[in-house]
Amino acid sequence: MPGPTAHPLRPVTADEVAAFERDGVVHLPAILPAVWIDHLVDPVEAAIADPVVTTDMTALQAAVSGIPLDPDKTGRFLSGVDHWLHDPAFASFATTSPLPAIAGALLDAERIHLYEDSVLVKEPGTAEATTLHQDLGYFHLTGDRICTTWVPLDPVDFKTGAVAYLRGSHRSGLVHRPNWFVSDEPLPGSEGVPIPEVTDDDPRLVRYTVQPGDVVVHHAATLHCAGPNRSSSTRRRAVSVRYCGDGVHHLVRAGAPTKAHHPPHGDVRSGDPVVDHPGCPVVWERTIGSTR
């Protein structure tokens, strides 16, 4: 842990809370201490170099589409999940950085649980877009206080693969069927409402130009996607951490990626409230006298 830096550089403002509630996404500029960005660099490099913990999404896209991978292609989309379970550096970031307090403020929660983390890297020249999807369909959770925090390690803009969010889509009440991220093809055995068709010029879409130290937070029900990295020299490295709060329950979703603490191997069942558990620990609690 990089010293006593559990507090954000500034409070989450009332306007930012209102934007999150209204749009299902909010950009929080200059809120994360730089020491946490430095803290993540080596762990991210180690993760993407390890094919056991990180998936080559470029190769996955080729496999799903049936189009052979170009052997001369250099750009890669690399992604992994649940690094916090086996890497103390990711665990400290997910549990002791300012992110849990930020989630608590935006979700108006009394307590915050860690659900999972993810590494998302698009190297220069990565052609793969991230397909429109909704996080909730992948999560074995149900409830309104669930969010994803997205932390860039590099400057990100449209050219390098900025994430686009469909504002207001979190209020639809729908749970959409999960897909492969790099293809519209749904995950086998999964359930949910089909993802709607959304064009690039839809006025509800919003993209943020972000810098290291910024955090973008979206509601788990917000539809979002991301473009390829068209840059020839700029990487797009990000770490995403997902949290949930009061009133959230476990719901085992057919076809979604499994978690060790859910059936058939774990002790958590659908309908159980999310309580302190090694697979979903409490990482923040509101203190007496604290404000939103």
Q: Give the list of residues 6+ apart from residue 41 with CB closer than 8 angstroms, or none.
A: 153
Query: In the 8-state DSSP scheme, what is residue 107?
Result: H
Question: Domains, the chain, ranges and CATH?
Answer: 14-285 (2.60.120.620)
DSSP per residue over 38-90, as a string?
A: HHHHHHHHHHHT-TTTEEEHHHHHHHHHTPPPPTT----EEEEE-GGGT-HHH
- CA distance linking residue 31 with residue 190, whole number of Å: 37
| AA identity, residue 131 | T
Taking the complete model, does pTM exceed 0.85, yes or no?
yes
Question: Average pLDDT in the 192-205 region?
Answer: 96
Q: How confident is the model at residue 289 (pLDDT cuts 50, 70, 90)?
A: very low
Tokens of 171: 């209020």
Cα 106 to Cα 19: distance, rounded to the nearest angstrom: 10
The model's pLDDT over 215-252, given as tens digits with 9 standing for 90+, comes to: 999 999 999 999 999 999 999 999 999 999 999 999 99
- Displacement of CA 23 from its chain's centroid (Å): 17
Q: Sort residue 226 into left (φ over 0), alpha (ψ -120 to 50) or beta.
A: beta
pLDDT bin (cut points 50, 70, 90) of residue 3 is: low
DSSP SS3 for 91: helix
DSSP state letter for 214: B
pLDDT tens track for 253-287: 999 999 999 998 899 999 999 999 999 999 999 98
| Per-residue pLDDT reduced to its tens digit, 21-59 | 999 999 999 999 999 999 999 999 999 999 999 999 999
